[in-house]
Homo-oligomer: A and B are copies of this chain.
Amino acid sequence: MGTAKLDEFTVRDNRIARYAKALGHPARVAILKFLITKKNCVCGDIVDVLPLSQSTVSQHLKELKEVGLIQGEIDGKRVCYCIDPKEWELAKRSIADLMDSFVTKGITCC
């Protein structure tokens, strides 16, 4: 128990869920927003902006990297993060497909 039964669902549903989960914490949302506004991909400046410790931020960055939404390149002693355009596009479309598939027909419920 305690383990999500991921195998039992479709690849598509899992993909949506995986991306959504990555967006499911305000710190990660803030990190992504920051990476978007700063054209040049900054690194540890993220730590300065967030109300979290360096290790916690690093943890969030790791998660974002694992789902593929961001990339991290080593640049000297710094690490340079940025959005991964392809993966971002895929995430965007996966979630948008779901959200757009609902259209109101005036009927609220039952």
Contacts A71-B108, A71-B109, A101-B36 known; A24 to B17 CB distance under 8 Å?
yes
Among B5, B26, B108, B109, the residue within 8 A (CB) of A14 is B26
Cross-chain contact A13 with B26 (CB below 8 angstroms): yes
- Residues of A within 8 Å of B, CB-based: how many? 53
Among B4, B28, B39, B108, the residue within 8 A (CB) of A82 is B108
Copies of this chain, how many? 2
Cross-chain contact A92 with B100 (CB below 8 angstroms): yes
Interface string of A18-44 (1 = CB under 8 A from B): 001111111111101100100111000
Among B21, B27, B105, B107, the residue within 8 A (CB) of A24 is B21
Contacts of A39 in B (CB 8 A): 105, 107
Contacts of A82 in B (CB 8 A): 108-110
- 6 examples of A-B residue contacts, CB within 8 angstroms: A5-B52, A20-B24, A23-B95, A33-B101, A83-B102, A85-B108
Give the 3 A-B residue pairs with the shortest CB-CB distance, closest first: A21-B24, A20-B23, A9-B26
